[in-house]
Chains A and B, each alone.
Chain A
Amino acid sequence: MENIVIIGNGIAGVTTARHIRKLSDKKITIISAESEYFFSRTALMYVYMGHMKFEHTQPYENWFWKKNRIDLINAYVEKVDHEDKTLVLRDGSFLSYDKLIIATGSKPNKFGWPGQDLKGVQGLYSKQDLEQLEKNAPNKDVCKRAVIVGGGLIGIEMAEMLRSRKIPVTFLVRENSFWNGVLPKGESQLINEHILAHHIDLRLETNLEEIISDENGHAKAIKTDKGDIIECTVVGLTAGVTPNIDFLKDSGIELGRGVKVNRLLETNIKDIYAIGDCAEQHEGIGSRRPIEAVWYTGRMMGETLAQTLCGNPTEYKPGHWFNSAKFLDIEYQTYGWVFSERSKQDHEEHFHWRHAKENICLTIAIHKDTKQFLGINTFGIRMRHEIFDRWLTENKNIEYVVEHLKDANFDPEFFKAYEQEIVSKFNMTYNTNISLKKKSWKRIFSKA
């Protein structure tokens, strides 16, 4: 019986294991040093905020693994020896494999800041990071102020977490507007305002220069590149993540920033594969980046690889881009491509609508010449995934999309709808005469 070993029990590794089990009878072993059972990393924030207990972040009951004959090993892999097909574990023991899947995820970036290894300085990625935060910042008496460095999704989530316990937070963002490498400026602006409204001391265009230590080796303040000294007891480093692959350095597996893989998710070494956050495509697929540290892509790679390993070689072919996030109280969804001003190409033009009072807005990306619909970002409005997926596949033009916006709305019943307002603004902007079509179940369920 083929012996498949997976390093890492995150969404990518676990999805692979589950699908291999669906398709075959192979022996499956998952190794993780982080946690005994699979949990949803994206939900760690809710544990600190008291919405859930850690057990609630585990999608499967504890008996699930035994029942499905998936062996779980709590260990840390020190080395991969591909010639003998064995793994060397930290306790010195060995584990052999027939096929190896590397799904070790990421670790928080550290850019060599002075003081970055002091006590009280931490990232927020793993279960251990969460436990560390619980120690570093249990309440506002122990943690008088926290400084968060890095203006991305983890940074704003960490700010939200700390604010839920009324801890004062200073948020340093290198750019001149929050996440504006990804978001168009109208949206980035909306989030800036939203952050300030939550009493987070947002400092744009500000870099961390140094973390200052007290006499016990604990962080006591930070210094910014503007010369400000901010006293704090916790420093959150959330300036992105890097693949967690240090243990592979001399293994002979080809590495870039991550583990290099082809479209079949194979590394340069036979019978070794890499998926999820730590996998790096030789070339980005379509407009995607070579490394995508996103929940959904980890899951898709896991499904794909399981097919390959069970005798149905399948290329990783992610469909239309989609993603979502929540910025404090504002939900964000994106389908297709809406680029920020920084990375937008010449042919991409944006239609932006923002509600006069509420924190609701949307941006639609349009091809200037062909008027093709390229993508949509929504804030505070939920959209139906299947609909946009189909519209993108069918290369619908912008007029069709705007006309049928009601089909795409996914907000709960009785919520106020804004399609009329959006269409009016669109008509005004483009001097068109589009009228909204009524929602139609027939269209919604018609298959592409």
Chain B
Amino acid sequence: MKIIQKIGLIIFLVGLAVFTAVPLLGTFKLDQNTFDNLVAEKNIKSDVFVAEINQNVVGKEFSGMQGLSPLVAKALDNANETHIKNKEYDKKIYTSSSDMATLIGKKSGTGFIANNKGIMWFLTFGLAIIGALMYILPNAILLGKKGIKNDGVYHESATNRGWIAWMVFIFLVSFYLVLYFASEYAVNWTFLVDPISESLSGNPAGHWFVYGFMYCVVMSVMAVRMYIKYRHNMYQIVRTTSVLFFQIVFAFLIPEIMVRLQMPYYDFKNAFPLDYDFFFQWNLKELLNSGGIGLFILVWGILLTVVFVPIMVYFFGKRWYCSWVCGCGGLAETLGDPYRQHSSKSLFSWKVERWLIHGVLLFALVMTALTLYSFFAETGTVLGIKTSSIQNLYSLLIGSIFAGVIGTGFYPIFGNRVWCRFGCPLAAYLGFVQRFKSRFRITTNGGQCISCGNCSTYCEQGIDVRAYAQKGENIVRSSCVGCGVCSAVCPRGVLKLENGPEEGRINSTEVLLGNDVDLMNLVNKK
């Protein structure tokens, strides 16, 4: 069994290594015809740009995007500089140099990678999946009898912020940086999944398709790990299945199929304000222009946020979304599960958390208000502030850096729910409802707590669960996403996630169960 695991690990690492190397490999050759078509298609009016690309790029062979990309950037910069100087604003190109390089790269890929998509898919995704499963499946036997198995979590480099954790951190952060800020290097990755994308939506893959596909693959493989680790715990099994279903069907398949059917790309479970660009002008316009289905999406999106979310939270707590449906939560619960113990439980972190997450919510709401005002008033500025610059700031700081680079990249160091805990505006909104108007709580079982600290250690949201449990108090914290792991790791059966009557949900017991108090005496003294 151990040997299978070792071989699996090697195979996985080979797959990962190929995947990591791919962006720097491959040959690219832009032919005249393709470029002319591209110019026409994108309606590029800059003669300077066209001339420079024709001279420096067309017909030449480049190995790796690192050869091609700077030339495109240079041509674009030169062109825009010239046009601004000559006040030829209609010729200026507004596409970023990264996007332009991506576009050109995608059309000019030749070489082995672009021509052998199937083989390359196997050498990257294929090997990684096979290797990971060979590593994970033997645990069904190696972990022994069913029950909580956190043995050695703090002895392993990977799960105790050792060098492996730091390598994973660097890999994840780099991956997100490429994805968000240097998508031209993702061009080769898109070739690997082109056949899958074409079979789903009919279009070749872009870098977001690579991400979506990879997301589903990672979640599925790590869900297998969850099933094995928590095989004694039905709550964890059902919950894992649920997030997996919503990721694959709602976030991945349905939007792609909608594109195939000439409908707008839309994830029906993605609620505002997590879906912060829902009210952006381009989205509203697209929805309004796509007829019935667009209108349906518009109404659905608003109802989801305003009606369904609070009602569901009232009945089930915010867990119905954060731990059962949400994609960010889904990745955190599968890929992130080995790192859940790293969230800080200090009072200081809690203070930071409350300022930060509510700050982001406020930011999102103000931005949306400005956006809607501009939309209806048909103006680009409100009180002298450009709406688009606010939107760009939010997209960059919150949408890309916080939710992506930090949110996932920091898993191995700060735990798996950094984004959900400190940044997600939807979680903040759900949290208000959960705290003040919900039937959900974590019930504490009388006086049975031994203050061992397993619950707090394994709380991914950094809640000091023990602080409540040892006082015999129920837990109704707004940040609780209801993952149920505190209850699972408790060696004394003290914690239970419950949707009960709202009355008596918040109990503060002055004297712990077990001491017989003279009740009349206590009452008379108060």
User: Interface residues, chain A, CB within 8 Å of chain B?
Assistant: 11, 40, 42-43, 46, 49-53, 56-59, 61, 164, 197-198, 295-297, 299-300, 303-304, 312, 317-320, 322, 324-326, 328-331, 333, 382-386, 389, 410-416, 441, 444-445
CB atoms of B515 and A318 under 8 A apart: yes
Pairwise interchain contact A414-B493, C-beta atoms closer than 8 A: no
Q: In the complex, which residues 445-459 of chain B have their Cβ closer than 8 Å to any Cβ of chain A?
A: 445-448, 450-454, 456-457
- Residues from chain B with Cβ under 8 Å of A329 in the complex: 145-148, 232
Q: Is the CB of A198 within 8 A of B145?
A: yes
Of B150, B492, B493, the residue contacting A50 (CB under 8 A) is: B150
In the complex, A445→B441 CA distance in Å?
A: 14
| Subset of 25 A-B contacts with CB under 8 Å | A40-B452, A42-B450, A43-B450, A43-B453, A43-B454, A50-B151, A50-B154, A61-B346, A164-B152, A296-B450, A299-B514, A318-B515, A318-B516, A324-B448, A324-B492, A326-B491, A329-B148, A333-B492, A333-B493, A382-B445, A385-B447, A385-B513, A389-B446, A412-B233, A414-B235
A43 and B452 within 8 A (CB): yes
Q: Which residues of B have CB within 8 Å of A42?
A: 450-452
Most-contacted residue by chain A among B452, B496, B497, B516 (CB, 10 A): B452
Chain B residues contacting A51 (CB-CB under 8 Å) are: 150-151, 153-154, 454, 457, 489
Q: How far is the CA of A116 from the CA of B155 in the complex (A)?
A: 31
Query: Which segment, of B95-103, B110-118, B500-508, faces chain A?
Result: B500-508
**Inter-subunit contact A410/B145 (CB<8 Å):** no
Chain B 468-526 residues near chain A, CB threshold 8 A: 470, 484, 487-489, 491-493, 496-497, 500-501, 503-504, 511-516, 525
> How far, in Å, is A380 (CB) from chain B's closest CB?
10
Task: Pick the residue among B144, B154, B515 that contacts A52 (CB under 8 A).
Answer: B154
Are A386 and B467 touching (Cβ within 8 A)? no
Task: Please tell me if B466 contacts chain A, counting CB pairs below 8 Å.
Answer: yes
Tell me if B238 counts as interface (CB < 8 A to partner A).
yes
Contact of B234 with A by CB under 8 A: yes
Contact B235 A56 (CB under 8 A): no
**A445 to B439 CA separation, bound complex (whole angstroms):** 14
A198-B144, A317-B515, A331-B491 given as contacts; is B466 within 8 A of A412 (CB)?
no
Q: How far is the CB of A198 from chain B (nearest CB, A)?
A: 7
Which of chain B's residues have a CB closer than 8 A to the CB of A331?
Answer: 491-493
Q: Which residue of A lies closest to B152 (CB)?
A: A50
Given A50-B151, A59-B453, 20 new contacts (CB under 8 A): A42-B452, A43-B451, A43-B452, A50-B153, A57-B452, A198-B144, A300-B447, A300-B514, A303-B512, A319-B514, A322-B447, A329-B146, A333-B493, A385-B446, A389-B513, A410-B496, A412-B234, A413-B234, A414-B237, A445-B503
Q: Taking CB as reference atom, which chain A residue is nearest B347?
A: A61
Check A382/B515 contact, CB under 8 A, given A51-B153, A295-B450. no
Contact across chains for A412 and B484 when beta carbons are under 8 A apart: yes
Of A11, A320, A326, A330, the residue contacting B451 (CB under 8 A) is: A11
Within the complex, which residue of B154, B347, B515 is in contact with A319, where a contact is CB–CB below 8 Å? B515
* Residue from B237, B453, B484 having most chain A Cβ neighbours under 10 A: B453
Q: Which residue in chain A gives the minimum CB-CB distance to B456? A: A56
| Residues of the A chain whose Cβ atoms lie less than 8 Å from the Cβ of B155 | 50
Q: Which residues of B contact A198 (CB under 8 A)?
A: 144-145
Contacts of A299 in B (CB 8 A): 447, 512, 514
- Contact A40 to B453, CB < 8 A, known contacts A61-B347, A324-B448: yes
A40 and B492 in contact, given A52-B457, A386-B446 (Cβ under 8 angstroms): no
C-alpha spacing A441/B456, complex, angstroms: 28
- Asked if residues B448 and A333 are in contact (CB atoms below 8 Å), the reply is yes
The distance from the CB of A320 to the nearest CB of chain B, in whole angstroms, is 8
The residues of B that contact A325 with a CB separation of less than 8 Å are 492
Kindly report which residue of chain B lies nearest to residue A445, judged by CB atoms.
Answer: B504
Q: Nearest chain-B residue to A415 (Cβ)? A: B234
**Residues B401-457 near A (CB distance < 8 A):** 443, 445-448, 450-454, 456-457
- Residue of A43, A304, A328 touching B145 (CB-CB under 8 A): A328
B5-45, CB < 8 A from A: none
Within 8 Å CB of A384, what residues of B? 445-446
Most A C-beta atoms less than 10 A away, residue of B156, B454, B514: B514
Instruction: Provide the bound-state CA to CA distance between A310 and B496, in Å.
Output: 35
Complex CA distance for A49 and B144, rounded to whole angstroms? 15
CB of A44 to closest CB in B, whole Å: 9
> Whole-angstrom distance between the alpha carbons of A413 and B235 in the complex?
6
CA distance A304 to B456 in the complex (A): 27
Closest to A60 in B: B467
What is the CA–CA distance of A331 and B148 in the complex, to the nearest angstrom?
11
| Contact across chains for A319 and B513 when beta carbons are under 8 A apart | yes
Establish whether residues B515 and A413, one from each chain, have CB atoms under 8 Å apart when the complex forms.
no
Within the assembled complex, what's the spacing in Å between the Cα atoms of A328 and B447? 22
State the CA gap A90–B368 with chains docked (Å): 68
Provide the bound-state CA to CA distance between A303 and B238, in Å: 41
| Distance in angstroms between the alpha carbons of A42 and B470 in the assembled complex | 13
**Chain A residue with the shortest CB-CB distance to B470:** A59
What is the CA–CA distance of A389 and B517 in the complex, to the nearest angstrom? 13
A43→B442 CA distance, assembly (Å): 22
* A386 to B507 alpha-carbon distance, docked (Å): 13
Which of B146, B235, B452, B516 touches A415 (beta carbons < 8 Å)?
B235
For the complex, give the distance between the alpha carbons of A40 and B455 in Å: 13
Cα–Cα, bound, A197→B146 (Å) = 12
Report how far A414 CA is from B242 CA in the complex, Å: 13
Q: Is the CB of B453 within 8 A of A56?
A: yes
Given known contacts A164-B151, A385-B447, is B514 in contact with A197 (CB within 8 Å)? no
Closest residue of chain A to B155 (Cβ to Cβ) is A50
Q: In the assembled complex, how far is the CB of residue A110 from the closest CB belonging to chain B, in whole angstroms?
A: 26
Q: Is the CB of A40 within 8 A of B488?
A: no
| B146 A59 Cβ-Cβ under 8 A | no
A441 to B493, CA, bound (A): 20
A-side contacts of B525, CB under 8 Å:
312
CA distance A317 to B453 in the complex (A): 28
Please, how many angstroms separate the alpha-carbon atoms of A61 and B525 in the complex? 33
Partner of A296, one of B154, B447, B491, B493: B447
Q: What CA separation (Å) do A299 and B451 show in the bound complex? A: 11
Query: How far, in angstroms, from A50 to B448 measured CA to CA in the complex?
Result: 23
- Closest chain B residue to A295, Cβ basis: B450
Which 9 residue pairs spanning A and B have beta carbons closest together? A385-B446, A329-B147, A382-B493, A43-B452, A414-B234, A50-B152, A319-B516, A51-B150, A326-B491
Residues of chain B within 8 A of A386, CB atoms compared: 446, 513
Which chain B residues in 304-330 approach chain A with CB under 8 Å? Answer: none
- Best-surrounded residue of B144, B155, B233, B492 (most CB of chain A within 10 A): B492
Chain A residues near B447: list those with CB within 8 A: 296, 299-300, 322, 385
Bound form: Cα–Cα A414–B232 in Å: 11
Q: Is the CB of B145 within 8 A of A52?
A: no
**Which residues from 102 to 160 on chain B have a C-beta closer than 8 Å to any C-beta of chain A?**
144-148, 150-156
Q: Could you say which residues of chain B place their CB within 8 Å of the CB of A49?
A: 150-152
Could you tell me the distance between the alpha carbons of A434 and B272 in the complex, rounded to whole angstroms? 52
Known: A319-B516, A324-B448, A382-B445. A303 touches B511 (CB 8 A): yes
Q: How far is the CA of A59 from the CA of B516 in the complex (A)?
A: 25
Would you call B452 and A46 a contact (CB within 8 A)?
A: yes
How many Å from the CB of A262 to the closest CB on chain B? Answer: 17
Give CA–CA (A313, B453) in the complex, Å.
Answer: 33
Residues of A within 8 A of B150 (CB): 49-51
Nearest CB to that of B447 among chain A residues?
A296
Are the CB atoms of B514 and A382 closer together than 8 Å? no
Give the complex CA separation of A441 and B516 in angstroms. Answer: 24
The answer to whether B450 and A300 have CB atoms under 8 Å apart is no
Residue of B nearest to A413 (CB): B235
In the bound complex, residues from chain A placing their C-beta under 8 Å from that of B347 are 61
Is B234 in contact with A53, judged by CB distance below 8 angstroms?
no
Given A328-B147, A412-B488, check contact A322 B446 (CB 8 Å).
yes
Using Cβ atoms and an 8 Å threshold, which residues of chain A touch B503? 445
Across the two chains, which residue of chain B brings its CB closest to A444? B500
Residues of A within 8 A of B234 (CB): 412-416
Question: CA A320 – CA B513 in complex, angstroms?
Answer: 9
CA distance A384 to B493 in the complex (A): 9
